[in-house]
Amino acid sequence: LILAFGKSVTTPFPRWQIQFADQKQEFNKRPTKIGRRSLSRSISQSSTDSYSSAASYTDSSDDETSPRDKQQKNSKGSSDFCVKNIKQAEFGRREIEIAEQEMPALMALRKRAQGEKPLAGAKIVGCTHITAQTAVLMETLGALGAQCRWAACNIYSTLNEVAAALAESGFPVFAWKGESEDDFWWCIDRCVNVEGWQPNMILDDGGDLTHWIYKKYPNMFKKIKGIVEESVTGVHRLYQLSKAGKLCVPAMNVNDSVTKQKFDNLYCCRESILDGLKRTTDMMFGGKQVVVCGYGEVGKGCCAALKAMGSIVYVTEIDPICALQACMDGFRLVKLNEVIRQVDIVITCTGNKNVVTREHLDRMKNSCIVCNMGHSNTEIDVASLRTPELTWERVRSQVDHVIWPDGKRIVLLAEGRLLNLSCSTVPTFVLSITATTQALALIELYNAPEGRYKQDVYLLPKKMDEYVASLHLPTFDAHLTELTDEQAKYLGLNKNGPFKPNYYRCLAPTPPLKTGKPG
């Protein structure tokens, strides 16, 4: 079915053709920020639903000059990038080399496919978190023949030294930690609006890049072969476009593949929630009362970690299936209003908007910690805190005290943005799984014959999920059991998989499933 590293799976390596089942769904949001030379203040409702003030704070140790005002060149004389400091490239390169050790599937893909160049001619524009793990993905795509231009999907998650290393290697990267909203859209525009270069593939995390091209450069979609999207927020946006009949290219929903949901969303958040909270607050978890809003895969990971540390965990949930799972896992299911006065920590994991409102914030007890583990900064109504009667006090990077007139204060982390990637790091091995799935989805869409994919949103097949998982098993010296012919016949399965039907999900899927093969 797809490529293999050593043994063939079902088709010869150069045939990058995979069958995907399709389906449909909705649309969601992104951050805002006051900045200079605004490209578009009202570009979309999704980009103006929330407000941030990152530019109003500057760490004394940071260079206050905006990267947009600097003239920088890499060692090859290129200035087609905009990063904080190109001189940090050596440090970033070391971080990338460390990440490579924990991303075995991407490294194997790079080694196995480098001669084939399955992405030769691909011009990929990306908008994701720019971390050492993303750098390994980008360099893998480059090794497979693609040209890439990249911006960040979050104003706080960029590792400046990694961005510098990528720029030094010749990748046009436009990102730095602490961008204003104006900077955010400017960077995306610099990736897309380039004389003599037009993208034919999109890799998005949150849907902002896709949204920008739709609003500003819709004619570009005539040459774009497909979109690969990895976040809940971005997938909602794609399904809404599809439902409205406005999706004009095929799109791959990577988020709802089992290897993304079960691993990136669950196991990644199970480890990184504690890391983010510890780095920002130095708090002790034992005995603390925590409410986690949402019991999807992200919420499950957060709850499991906090429970293991001795916290008393409450859960809010709208879905009765997820709610029942929370109860069966030993968590108390509540409405936020019932516990808001007593909890020590509030964590949002829903992908929704206004989950924590100003009314909730007013009722929180002194020193309550408020943070978000969802992609967008729409879950906590941070904009409602920007009023004259409240005082904002910067404690440390990404940590603010918001102080009420009576002296009560809450601790707001990352101004309501994604906690783990804004305030800490995430496990590299888990990102290897997601990045490998993204790379294979790009390969499939780019090489698919005309007509295989319609202007719709497609799910990855179980065969690809299983294949990505199998590439990571050797790390654990794990040995899979193989079905006998008799067992395979009894179960009605192929001995080599897939072992689950295409409609199988680790949880009830977000969108309504469509079965059957595309094209």
**Residues contributing to the annotated binding site:** 131, 205, 230, 260, 264, 296-301, 317, 420
As a whole number of angstroms, the distance between CA 394 and CA 382 comes to 15
E-only strand ranges, 357-437:
368-372, 391-396, 399-403, 409-413
- Cα of 415 vs its chain's centroid, Å: 18
- Spatial contact of 433 and 473, defined as CB atoms under 8 Å apart: no
Annotated binding residues for NAD(+): 296-301, 317, 420
Binding site for substrate: what residues are annotated?
131, 205, 230, 260, 264
Interatomic CA distance for residues 37 and 212, integer angstroms: 17
Report how far residue 188's alpha carbon sits from residue 210's, in angstroms, rounded to the nearest whole number: 10
Angle between helices 297-308 and 269-281 (to 10 degrees): 60
Coil, helix or strand for 281? Answer: helix
The dihedral sign for the CA sequence 184, 186, 190, 191 = positive
Neighbours of 51 (CB within 10 A): 19
Place of tokens 């050492």: 132
Burial of 282 (0-12, 13-18, 19+ CB in 10 A): exposed
Query: Do the beta carbons of residue 210 and residue 218 sit within 8 Å?
Result: no
Structure token digits, residue 279 = 């780095």
The CB density around residue 43, as the number of other CB atoms within 10 Å, is 18
Torsion of CA 273, 274, 278, 282, to 10 degrees: 120
The tokens 């196991």 sit on which residue?
267
CB atoms within 10 A of CB 222: 9
User: Would you tell me how many other CB atoms lie within 10 Å of the CB of residue 491?
Assistant: 11
